[in-house]
Structure 1
Amino acid sequence: MYLAIREMRFAKVRYSLIAAIMLLVAFLVLFVSGLAKGLAYDNAASIQNRQATHFIMEKDSNARFTRSLVGEQVSERASTIVGEENVQPLGVKMTTVTAEGTAAKLDVTVLAVRPEGWLMPAVTEGAVIDSQSEGQAIVDDKLKDSGVGLGTVIVDQASGLKWEVAGFVSDESFSHSPAVFISGRDWQQLQASAAVRPGGVEEAEAGSNSTNYNAIAVKGDTDQARQLAAALPDAEVVTKTAAVSAIPGYKEEQGSLLMMIVFLFVISAVVLMVFFYVITIQKSSQLGILKAIGTRTVYLAKSVTLQVLFLSAGSLMISVLLVQAVEALLPSGMPFRLPASTLALTCGSFIVMSLIGSLLSVWKVIRVDPLDAIGRSAL
């Protein structure tokens, strides 16, 4: 450690430049990771936040809520396996609404849940609704930016139905659109106003007066999920993870961002590898002399590794502070999330990639021949 710190203090400019490059790369890695996490959450918050472990959907719907339609009989069958308290119907409909009295159109996702059930999020402002409520909705607070407030009446463009905003919830969205939660009564009216397509699971098992939902949310273990799949051959049981991944654009969006993050990690490792390899070549003669006077190769290799570790850790510490400062300045509408778990994983991965980038320099240190180094010094 003494040799590593002494050398860094002696060549301040050289190592400061390397640290500056690592700082920029580390900041970019953390920022893109925060964007990726934020976009993923904004795309599927209303599903990820639910307590369900599985969703029962229509067969061949490819785990997509918008392609699925199931009847109440499916919910009744599921209740016999996992218990009535662990089963909740869920309606999902992407639509466009306008605030009454304005011409502005807002893209939202209507979610039908039991207001007293565990699918209903906690209301942060305003009043809650109950199963008997009609014409009332709980909406995501992002709609405040569009002029929607408590008591505002929003009108569904497709059906003409109206809902008065009774309260607000936070961080509830589906496919990057704010969520609007309504009761089962309003969902029945919404269903009645739309043409229900034929051939779905609900027609095979439910009567014409049955209320249809897009999925049945279930809280249960893996064994119960297998029992549900066996008891419902005309439906499919999907995990929450699979349902989130099936949201349109989710996998493509996250795949692109993940590729960017991977390339940034690779770039950081290559940059470190090149810089430290060049530095190691430049001081080959000094390393040879140190070996000749008895310095162990392991000690010299540890010195190079410690330099990389110091620079990586220092750059990460400053980068974390910079990212937090930038996050505080970002507009509220920008999806950015960097929880402690993601931060720790990203920082750990960055340090590992940095150490991998130092392996070529370590190999060069091991290969230095003391006799050749002394000969070159003499010349």
Structure 2
Amino acid sequence: MFALAIKEIRFFKLKYSLIGFILFLLASLVFIVSGLAGGLSLNNVAMLENSHANHFFLSEDAENRLDQSGYIVDDLLEALPREGGWEPFLIQNYRLDADSSETKLAVTMMPVDPNSFLYPGVIEGTDLSDSEAIEIVVDQSMKVDGVTIGDTLYEEDNDLSFEVIGFTEGQTYRHAPVAYLAETAFYSLELTPHTVANAIVIETEETVLQAAITGAFDEGVWVGKADVIDGVPGHSSEQMSLNMMIFFLIVIAVFVLAAFFYILTIQKLNQFGVLKALGASNQFLIGATLLQVLTLTTVSLILAIGFTYFITTILPEGMPFDFNSGLLVQYSVTMLAVSLIGALLSAIKIVKIDPQQAIGRVE
């Protein structure tokens, strides 16, 4: 059975190479579009996705939105001992000037304790220190704008200068890079009369600590990370649109593959009839067909995954792309299953084929 399937592929090299190439293109299209869509979606909430903060205490009427929640930091420090394991989650949007860019750079400024679970660390440069030095660690996506270690970024409204001392990765929020600043330095700037935190966060569920926070601020509610991510403005609708686009792309690929293998099998009915006349069973012929489809589709999908990975290495720096191997495997299994189902649709024709009709001996 297997020998017959492989011999036919070898004999009709051009035909099967073209079939494999079409499968490769379809799979590559699905994989690349899904990677771009996933990267765009992740770029909106990567900071939250990669954060070790898993439980958020938000204002009760905030509807899981960080930008609608607020607690005065001075009140937090007065009501709760800082060593208790909680951290203030504070984000502010700024537009910074850089010598390397003619336009203002949008960033999300996030003051953190450099020793806390909120600080992601650096992949290049120097880590933040707990001091009043106005130094920042920024997401590496800012390299696209020409930002380098040692550069000074200017905030015109408050006449502030931030020195870039390092780069981190996977830290973007609402499609803007996150800039981390030591909270000691941030509070010393006195940008507003009362610095307001968007939420109180903890890393792991701690009943006693959560009860203490709830008791200190009764108009609040504990929310999980997933709910906070869904509450990011525009994220749910953006993700829904991207998922719908991928869904229809897969549906189109599914119908093309199913129809393609069905037609391919129908074209070989005369050959099947001759083989039946020589004693081949229906089970043998259907099995050989499925083995051909399995071989072609598997090779094409493997090549498509490899090509997609190659694409990630040549994309412009800073372009969001999520090479999610688990998701690609799911899509591959789906396309493989559909290819086999498309081939199975012709099994009825194979079973019904009359050897005499196939070899032209109809009376």
Q: TM-score by structure 1 length?
A: 0.82
| Distance of 1:101 and 1:108 partners within structure 2 | 15
Aligned to 1:58: 59
Q: Distance in 1 between matches of 2:253 and 2:45?
A: 31
Give the SS at the match of 1:309.
Answer: helix
Which amino acid is 1:220 matched to?
T
Aligned to 1:327: 312
Which residue of the other structure, out of 189, 209, 218, is the alignment partner of 2:202?
A: 218
Residues 187, 15 of structure 1: alpha-carbon distance in 2 compared, 3 angstrom cutoff = same
Residue of structure 1 aligned with 2:354, choices 349, 358, 370: 370
Say if 1:353 and 1:113 are closer, same or farther in 2 by CA, change over 3 A. Answer: farther
Aligned to 2:130: 131
Corresponding residue for residue 249 of structure 1:
234
Aligned runs of 1:186-201 on 2, under 5 Å?
A: 186-188=185-187, 192-194=190-192
Distance (Å, rounded) in 1 between the aligned partners of 2:255 and 2:51: 42
In structure 1, distance between residues paired with 2:80 and 2:361? 81
Alpha-carbon distance in 2 for matches of 1:223, 1:276: 58
Question: How far apart are the structure 2 equivalents of 1:50 and 1:18?
Answer: 45
Q: Is contact 1:95–1:109 with CA below 8 Å preserved after alignment?
A: yes
Contact 1:75–1:88, Cα closer than 8 Å, also in 2: no
Change (3 A) 1:323 1:373: same
Letter in 2 for 1:242: D
The one-letter code of the counterpart of 2:84 is: E
Q: Deviations over 1:125-149 (max 9, x none)?
A: 3332233324222222332333433
Alignment-derived partner of residue 122 in structure 1: 121
Match of 1:199 in 2: none
Aligned-pair CA distance for 1:41 = 2.8
1:84 maps onto 2:68 in alignment: no
Quote the offset at 1:193 in angstroms: 3.2
Q: Give the equivalent residue in structure 1 for 2:174.
A: 175
SS at match of 1:378: coil
Change (3 A) 1:325 1:147: closer
Q: Does 1:316 find its partner at 2:301?
A: yes
For the residue of structure 1 that corresponds to 2:91, the secondary structure is strand
- Go from structure 1 to structure 2 and tell me whether the alpha carbon gap of 1:314 and 1:54 turns closer, same or farther (over 3 Å shift): same
Deviations 1:148-193 (A, max 9, x none): 3333332224433332223222232111111111122344366x53
Q: How many pairs align?
A: 360
What is the distance in 1 between the residues matched to 2:60 and 2:268? Answer: 67
What SS does the aligned partner of 2:70 have? coil
CA distance in 2, matches of 1:158, 1:44: 27
Question: 2:45 touches 2:173 (CA, 8 Å); kept in 1?
Answer: yes
Aligned counterparts of 2:49 and 2:279: Cα–Cα separation in 1 = 60
For the 8 Å contact 1:98–1:104, the answer to whether it is kept is: yes
What is the DSSP-based 3-state SS (H/G/I as helix, E as strand, rest coil) of the residue aligned with 2:131? coil
Provide TM-score, normalisation by structure 2: 0.85
> Partner of 2:26 in structure 1?
25
CA distance in structure 2 between the partners assigned to 1:274 and 1:34 by the alignment: 26
Aligned to 2:248: 263
Residue aligned with 1:337, SS:
coil
Deviation at 1:100, TM superposition (A): 6.7
Aligned to 1:93: 92
Offset at 1:369? 4.3
Report the secondary structure of 1:149's partner residue: coil
Structure 1 residue runs of 5 or longer lacking an equivalent are 196-208
Give the conservation status (yes or no) of the 8 Å contact 2:276–2:355: no
Identity fraction in percent: 32
The CA RMSD measured in Å over matched residues stands at 3.2
Compared CA separation, residues 235 and 176, structure 1 to 2 (3 A): same
Distance apart, 1:53 and its partner CA: 1.7
Opposite residue 257 of structure 2, the aligned amino acid is L
User: How far off its partner does 1:48 sit?
Assistant: 1.5
Query: CA distance change for structure 1 residues 117 and 303 in 2, over 3 Å: closer, same or farther?
Result: same
**Conserved 8 A contact 2:277-2:355:** yes
Q: 1:58 to 1:359 in 2, by over 3 A?
A: farther
Equivalence for 2:149:
150
2:43 paired residue number: 42
Give the Cα–Cα distance (whole angstroms) in 2 for the partners of residues 219 and 257 of structure 1: 30
Structure 1 residue 229, shift from structure 2 partner: 9.5
Cα distance per residue 1:268-321 (max 9 Å; x no partner): 221222222223323334434544655333332222222221111111122223
Deviations 1:40-69 (A, max 9, x none): 332222111211222222222232222221
- Cα deviation for residue 30 of structure 1 reads 1.4
Aligned residue for 2:90, secondary structure, equals strand
* 1:345 is the counterpart of 2:330: yes
Q: CA deviation at 1:365?
A: 2.8
